[in-house]
Amino acid sequence: MERIPILRMGNLLLVTIQVDMHDRLAMTLQDDLTQRIVSDNAKGVLIDISALDLVDSFIGRMISNTAAMARVLDAQTVVVGMQPAVAITLVELGLTLHGVKTALNVEKGMALLGKTVF
Amino acid sequence: MSTALGNTVAFQTHLLDKRGHQLASRTTMPLRSDEDVVALRRHVRERAVAIALSLVDQTKLVTAASELARNTIKYGGGGEVHLDALQDDLRRGVGLVFVDDGPGIADLELALRDGYTTGGGLGLGLSGSKRLSDEFEIDTRPGEGMAVEIVKWKR
């Protein structure tokens, strides 16, 4: 089955989404990340969406749900690299990714996680 | 599909007449699976680039297309989408018509309200794609499927 790879760096999980995800793939990623937080004892999750040229309500909800699930499993999530056109569209669509931490790029995202995790 | 398609043909002719759009070309794609939605997003992006829509307008159009395609599959039981190259006197546009022969919508006003859903989603698909489009029109009757048309014009 098609899957998006999840890398581990210390107690962080790192995901770079580089394909246009169909809905099942997005759900698989949400499930995989939640499993890996527990199995890898991760304290932080960094999701890089800089290669995504679209975040619709389904992908947006997957991101929000993943962050919420991570939170109840004692891990922080940061979404990094959102393109400006995607941000404009997302807000106009009516999604605000409530409760999701964001940073402009991977470096700033790591710094943000570093403050809360380490 | 026959009733809905019959309705839709009349509906589209009516829309095009009313607005004075000229239909330069039309492509039709099936909407049955998750993969069809991804394929549609790619095709819509190509159309948007071809008429030189700004990056923001491209993103809005592709996102609206993704929402409506998902609705067609999830609530309409699958259907198809027409990709139209539109032209009026002054400008070019991309039109998308989503057609299904599912249960249709009894209360349109309610269905267009932010946060209203019958499928456990966020309830932003219809209302959100309306906000993302320049023109938005729905033709539906309970039990007779639906057709949703959106248009994005090159500014």
Rounded to an integer, the average pLDDT of B21-33 is: 90
- The answer, yes or no, to whether residue B4 has pLDDT greater than 60, is no
B152: β partners: B94
Which of left, alpha, beta for B25 (phi over 0: left; psi -120 to 50: alpha)? beta
Per residue in B92-109, pLDDT (tens digit) is 999 999 999 999 998 888
Q: Please name the fold of domain B2-153.
A: Heat Shock Protein 90 (3.30.565)
CB B155 within 8 A of CB B58: no
- Identify the pLDDT of residue A2: 86
Rounded to an integer, the average pLDDT of B140-146 is: 91
Tally the C-alpha atoms within 13 A of residue B138's C-alpha that lie toward its C-beta: 22
- Identify the pLDDT of residue B2: 45
Give dist(CA B35, CA B109) in Å, integer.
Answer: 31
| B12: confidence class by pLDDT, cuts 50, 70, 90 | low
Residue of A22, A83, A88 with shortest CB distance to B35: A22
The order of strands in the sheet holding A12-16 is A6-9, A12-16, A44-48, A76-80, A101-103
| B1: confidence class by pLDDT, cuts 50, 70, 90 | very low
Q: What is the pTM of this model?
A: 0.90
Domain with A107, as residue range(s), is 6-117
- The answer, yes or no, to whether residue B14 has pLDDT greater than 90, is no
- Dihedral of CA atoms A80, A64, B60, B66 in degrees, nearest 10, equals 120
| A118: confidence class by pLDDT, cuts 50, 70, 90 | low
**Of B136, B151, B19, nearest in space to B89 by CA:** B19
User: Which residues from B are below 8 Å from A27, CB to CB?
Assistant: none
Supply the ipTM of this predicted assembly: 0.92
CB A100 within 8 A of CB A77: yes
- For an interface test with B, the pick among A21, A24, A49, A57 (most B C-beta atoms closer than 10 Å) comes out as A57
- How do B146-153 and A101-103 pair as beta strands? unpaired
B117 and chain A in contact, CB less than 8 A: no
- Identify the pLDDT of residue B10: 54
| Overall number of domains in chain A | 1
Q: Where are the domains of chain B?
A: 2-153
A2 and chain B in contact, CB less than 8 A: no
B48 and chain A in contact, CB less than 8 A: no
User: Which residues from B are below 8 Å from A85, CB to CB?
Assistant: 55-56, 58-59
| A52: confidence class by pLDDT, cuts 50, 70, 90 | very high
Tally the C-alpha atoms within 13 A of residue A2's C-alpha that lie toward its C-beta: 12
Residue of A22, A60, A88 with shortest CB distance to B34: A22
- The answer, yes or no, to whether residue A18 has pLDDT greater than 60, is yes
- Identify the pLDDT of residue B36: 97
The size of the A-B interface in CB pairs under 8 A is 73
- The answer, yes or no, to whether residue B81 has pLDDT greater than 70, is yes
% of chain B beyond a pLDDT of 90: 65
Comparing A118 with B34, the larger pLDDT belongs to B34
- Identify the pLDDT of residue B15: 53
- Identify the pLDDT of residue B120: 72
Distances (CA, A) of B26 to A34, B37, B81, B102: 43, 18, 10, 23
Per residue in B47-74, pLDDT (tens digit) is 999 999 999 999 999 999 999 999 999 9
Contact A89 B37 (CB under 8 A): no
User: Which residues from B are below 8 Å from A25, CB to CB?
Assistant: 34
User: Which residues from A are below 8 Å from B58, CB to CB?
Assistant: 85
A117 and chain B in contact, CB less than 8 A: no
CATH at A106 = 3.30.750.24
- A1 is a domain residue: no
- Identify the pLDDT of residue B94: 97
Contact A86 B125 (CB under 8 A): no
B41 and chain A in contact, CB less than 8 A: yes
- The answer, yes or no, to whether residue A95 has pLDDT greater than 50, is yes
